[in-house]
Amino acid sequence: MIANKVELRTRPILMAAMGTSVGMIPIALEWAIGLERLSPLAVVAIGGLMVSTFLTLVYVPKLYSLFDELKEKAKDFLYSLKPAKTGDQTD
């Protein structure tokens, strides 16, 4: 289930990140006239965008699956604590 969702969302996430990063390359390489002073900012923005894209595509689905497994284990544990009902007891 999670793999299907990751596969579905990978392309738009990568397209947005790559498009933004490629658009900042002239500023980062100081090719943009008048924007040379923004070169360090562009380099940091490109790096941050790449790191956040990696985290979005790898760690978020992994954390989701870990929490989902934890929820299932907690549900099973709580279900095992319930006393079994016996219909033959009368008071």
Predicted confidence (pLDDT) per residue in 2-23, tens digit: 778 778 888 899 999 999 999 9
Q: Is residue 12 part of a domain?
A: yes
E strands along the chain, which residues? Answer: none
Contacts (Cβ under 8 Å, ≥6 apart) of 39: 27, 28, 29, 30
Q: Is residue 17 part of a domain?
A: yes
Contacts (Cβ under 8 Å, ≥6 apart) of 35: 27
Q: Express each pLDDT in 73-89 by its tens digit.
A: 999 888 888 776 665 55
Q: Is residue 68 part of a domain?
A: yes
Q: Is residue 50 part of a domain?
A: yes
Domain of residue 28, residue span: 2-78
Q: Is residue 86 part of a domain?
A: no
Q: How many folded domains does the chain comprise?
A: 1
Q: Is residue 89 part of a domain?
A: no
